[in-house]
A and B are shown apart, each in its own frame.
Chain A
C-alpha cells in the first residue's frame, strides 16, 4: 500500500505548491510541531511562524511560513498562508530584513503577550535558518 498523500499550499495570490507524492509533512502548529502521515485523522489547526518540512519521493523541501491554517481531510493536506517562501530560494539579505522588521515589532511597547510570543518565535526561526 502506498504511503503517499497530497499536499497543496495556497497563498492569496496563487497556488504556491501542489504535490501528490508526499510521505510526511511536519508543520509548526500553534501548539507545537505536528507531523502528518497518510490517513491522519481530519484536523484543522493554525500555524505559528516556523518551518514546514515536506518529505516526498523527490526529496525533502523546507518552507518558512509566518502564519496560516492547515486542514487535513481525506488524505488531502491544505495549507493556507499569506506569507511563505522556499528556504532554497531565499537569500540572506531578505532574511536579515525580516529579522529586523520583526525585532522592531517586538520592541514596540503596545503589543500584547500573544503577539510578542509570535514575533519572538519568528525571530528565533529566522535566526536558525540564517
Chain B
C-alpha cells in the first residue's frame, strides 16, 4: 500500500488537474456560445448563396458548356479531400471522429482505384494523417493565429482549391468537417463541393425566371468560386462550434472523473491513516502488557 505521503501528493495533483479541466470547461463554454452565435449568423449567407445557385443552375440551358466547377472536369479519377480539424487538442473525440470518417472514405477510394490527394486544415488532422497518408498530403493549412473562424481564412483555402482545380490537379473535391448538432453530438460530415451536387442542395425550387445581367454563364462562373469559399467557411464555423462543444463535454467528464478519483483516494488515505493509528495503539498496548 502506498504511504500516507504519497497518497497526499496524489490527491493534491488530481485536485490541481481538476482545477485545470474545470477552467478549460468554463472557457470552452464561453467560446462555444460565441461560436454558435457566429455559426447562426453565417447561415443566411450560405443559404441565400445556395438559393441563387440553384435558381441559376436550373435555368442553365446548355449543360455542356456549364462552368467546370458545376459540371465537373468530366473525369472521376483524382479525388481531393480537404480534412478540416482543429489546431488544439483536449477536445474529446472531435478530431478522431473526422479522421475516422476521412479514413474510411480514403479506404473506399483506394478500393475503387482512385487517386487521392489530401489538404489538411488544422494541425491536429495533419498530425494524425501524416503517418499513413504522408505522401498524399499536398498542403497543410493552419490558422493558429486567428482567434475565431473568419471569412478571410476560408477564402484562402477556397483560392487554393480553385487554383488546383484550374490546374486540373484533381476532379472531385470533398470536405470533411464536424457538423454541430448539440454539445454532446457532433456529426462528422463528408460534403462534395466540386463538382457541385445541385440535387443535394435542400431548398424549394422556385419556378421564377430571372433576368440576368450579364448573362447566366458569367454570373455562374463568378459565383461558383465564391460558393466554394462560402461552403468552406460554413464548415469552419460548424467546426469551431463543434470543437468547443466537444471540448466542453470532454472537460466536463474529466472534471467529474477527477472528482471521483479524489473521493476514492481520500477514502484510501483515511483508511491507511486509521490503520497506522491502530497499529501504533496495538504496539503501545502490547508493549504495556508485556511489562
Which A residues fall within an 8 A CB radius of B?
8, 10-15, 29-31, 34, 41-46, 69, 71, 73, 78, 80, 82
B114 within 8 A of A: no
B55 close to A12 (CB less than 8 A): no
A-B contacts, 8 of them at CB < 8 A, read: A8-B44, A10-B44, A11-B45, A15-B44, A29-B213, A45-B212, A45-B214, A71-B52
Task: State the Cβ distance, A56 to closest chain B Cβ, in Å.
Answer: 20
- Using A13-B42, A80-B45, A80-B48 as known contacts, say yes or no to A44 and B219 having CB atoms under 8 A apart: yes
User: Which B residues are CB-close (under 8 A) to A8?
Assistant: 44
A13 close to B213 (CB less than 8 A): no
- Using A11-B45, A69-B223, A71-B48 as known contacts, say yes or no to A45 and B213 having CB atoms under 8 A apart: yes
Most chain A C-beta atoms within 10 Å of own C-beta, residue among B45, B208, B209, B219: B45
Task: State the Cβ distance, A130 to closest chain B Cβ, in Å.
Answer: 24
* Further contacts, 5 of them, CB under 8 A, given A10-B45, A13-B45, A44-B55: A12-B42, A31-B214, A44-B52, A44-B210, A44-B212
B151 close to A11 (CB less than 8 A): yes
Chain A, Cβ-Cβ closest to B213: A45
Task: State the Cβ distance, A44 to closest chain B Cβ, in Å.
Answer: 5
Most chain B C-beta atoms within 10 Å of own C-beta, residue among A30, A43, A78, A80: A80
B38 within 8 A of A: yes
- Number of chain B interface residues as a range: 20 to 34
B233 within 8 A of A: yes
The total of Cβ contacts below 8 Å across the A-B interface reads: 75
User: Which A residues are CB-close (under 8 A) to B151?
Assistant: 11-13, 82
Choose from A10, A30, A43, A78 the contact partner of B211 (Cβ within 8 Å).
A43
User: Which A residues are CB-close (under 8 A) to B212?
Assistant: 43-45
B241 within 8 A of A: no
B48 close to A31 (CB less than 8 A): no
In residues 44-62 of chain B, which contact A (Cβ within 8 Å)? 44-46, 48-49, 51-52, 55-56
B210 close to A13 (CB less than 8 A): no
Complex Cα distance A73/B222, Å? Answer: 20
- Using A44-B212, A44-B219, A45-B212 as known contacts, say yes or no to A14 and B41 having CB atoms under 8 A apart: yes
A46 close to B41 (CB less than 8 A): no
B120 within 8 A of A: no
Choose from A34, A44, A73 the contact partner of B56 (Cβ within 8 Å).
A44
